[in-house]
Amino acid sequence: MSLDIERTRFNMVEQQVRPWDVIDLRVLDVLSRVRREDFVPADSRALAFADVELPIGHGERMMKPVVEGRLLQALAVQEGDSVLEIGTGSGFVTACLAALARDVTSIEIHADLAAAAEQKLVRSGVANTRVLVADALKGFTPGRRYDAIAVTGAVYREPAQFRDWLAVGGRLFVVRGESPAMDAALVTRTGEHAFREDSLFETDLPYLVHAAPPKRFVL
């Protein structure tokens, strides 16, 4: 293993992620252990630890490491938790969630991204994940509730079903609003019909398919 790679990974965690208010030691440890370079596209490997979003196809992008860190910290995933990830993408966040949780179900609308991510997860020895090709906004029905839900793409308006899929006590990380000033929020189900919302930070992510704002016609 290259010392340069390990030094760059260390710098990503200590100089990018930790200063952005990520102080959960379990999250910092996971970001130090999961090999991000194995999940980025081959032509972006040199930028695996940079503070940039990386294109992965279909107009989708990997989140910056700082946003990944804040997502993982906000969800506070525990060892016995079952997690739903909406938007598998590269599979990196999937692998990080799997290192923290009991099991992860990840759904991805693009079949080629799902297949590539699944291969990367297998090669990385991640055994407690399941990747499905599905559309979270149209037709997907999990048939159960989850302790944590990570939405890795933005939504203009939060779909009601996301909250329906939360167990009581469960947490939902979602980025909502209109580019370029979107609100990253944590929604906690405090009771069968009660929820608490906490605004975390401002960011800008590509929208999930079918989740962009309606087109506006200007005369």
Give 49-107 pLDDT, tens digit per residue. 999 999 999 999 999 999 999 999 999 999 999 999 999 999 999 999 999 999 999 99
212 falls within a domain: no
- In this structure, is residue 37 part of a structural domain? yes
Domain annotation covers residue 52: yes
- For 138, the 3-state DSSP assignment is coil
pLDDT band, very low/low/confident/very high, at 219 (cuts 50, 70, 90): low
Instruction: Please work out, in degrees rounded to the nearest 5, the angle formed at the alpha carbon of residue 125 by the alpha carbons of 80 and 169.
Output: 20
**pLDDT for res 152:** 98
Q: Report pLDDT for 217.
A: 60
- Mean pLDDT score, 192-218: 92
- Parent domain of 79: 3-203
210 part of a folded domain: no
Three-point CA angle 53, 36, 58, nearest 5°: 45
Q: What is the pLDDT of residue 215?
A: 80
CATH number of 110's domain: 3.40.50.150
Residue 2 pLDDT exceeds 80 = no
Using one digit for the tens of pLDDT, what is the confidence trace for 4-61? 999 999 999 999 999 999 999 999 999 999 999 999 999 999 999 999 999 999 999 9
Mean pLDDT score, 177-184: 95
Mean pLDDT of the chain: 96
Angle subtended at Cα 105 by Cα 102 and Cα 111, rounded to the nearest 5 degrees:
150
Note whether residue 131 is domain-resident.
yes
In a domain, 150, yes or no: yes
Number of domains in the chain: 1
| Residue 209 counted as domain residue | no
Residue 187's contacts (CB-CB under 8 Å, 6 or more residues apart) are: 158, 162, 163, 166, 171, 172, 174, 195, 196, 197, 198
Which of the two residues, 19 and 219, has the higher pLDDT score? 19
Name the percent of the chain lying above pLDDT 90.
95
